[in-house]
Amino acid sequence: MKSTSGILACALVIGAGAVFAADAPPGAAACSGCHATNAAAETPVPKITGRSADETVKLMAEFRSGEKPSTVMGRIAKGFTDDEMKPIAAWLAAQK
């Protein structure tokens, strides 16, 4: 009985897609404050997990330079260099 409820609890944890920060590189865990990892959250803000790391690094560089217009993302992108972005992008790519 105990084990069954263990599985249930575990499934719920995964289903909720809540806060997973295991070995997140500096800054990475904060992204989900705006970019939902919980599929149930209704938002026009794009999902950024599971995207190729190269694409994320490139997008952030474009936000940083202003080449790609944004409301808030350009201001945040300026807080990270390409080298700081690479591990974050790789970590995001590995998330569901």
Partner 1 sequence: MRNSRTRREFLRNSAALASTAMLPMPALAQTAPRVVVVGGGFGGATVARTLKALDPKIHVTLVESSATFTACPFSNAVLGGLRDLKAQQFGYDKVRAAGVNVVIGTAIGVNPTGKTVRLADVTLPYDRLVLSPGIDIRWDGLPGYDEAAAAKMPHAWRAGEQTTLLRNQLTAMEDGGLVVMSVPANPFRCPPGPYERASLIAHYLKTNKPKSKLLVLDAKDQFSKQRLFQNAWKELYPDHLEWVSLSTGGKVTAVDPAANTLTTEFGKHAAKVANVIPPQKAGNIAQLASVTNQTGWCPINPATFESTLVPGIHVVGDATIAAPMPKSGFVANSQGKVCALAITKLLGGSQAAAQPAFINTCYSLVAPNYGISVANVYRTAGNAMTEVKDSGGVSPLDAPADFRATEAVYAEAWFRTITSEVFG
Residues 55 to 84 in contact with partner 1, rule: CB under 8 A? 71-72, 75-76, 78-80, 84
18 or 55, CB closer to partner 1?
Answer: 18
Q: Is 95 in the site for partner 1 (CB under 8 A)?
A: yes
Nearest-approach distance from CB 86 to partner 1, in angstroms? 14
The beta-carbon contacts of 23-30 under 8 Å, at least 24 apart in sequence, are 23/91, 24/91, 25/87, 25/88, 25/91, 26/84, 26/88, 27/79, 27/80, 27/84, 27/88, 28/87, 28/88, 28/91, 28/92
Min dist. Cβ of residue 55 to partner 1 (A): 17
Burial of 3 (0-12, 13-18, 19+ CB in 10 A): exposed
- Is 24 a binding residue for partner 1 by CB under 8 A? The answer is yes
Which residues would be at the binding site for partner 1 (CB under 8 A)?
A: 1-4, 6-7, 9-10, 12-14, 16, 18-24, 26-27, 29-38, 40-45, 71-72, 75-76, 78-80, 84, 90-91, 94-96
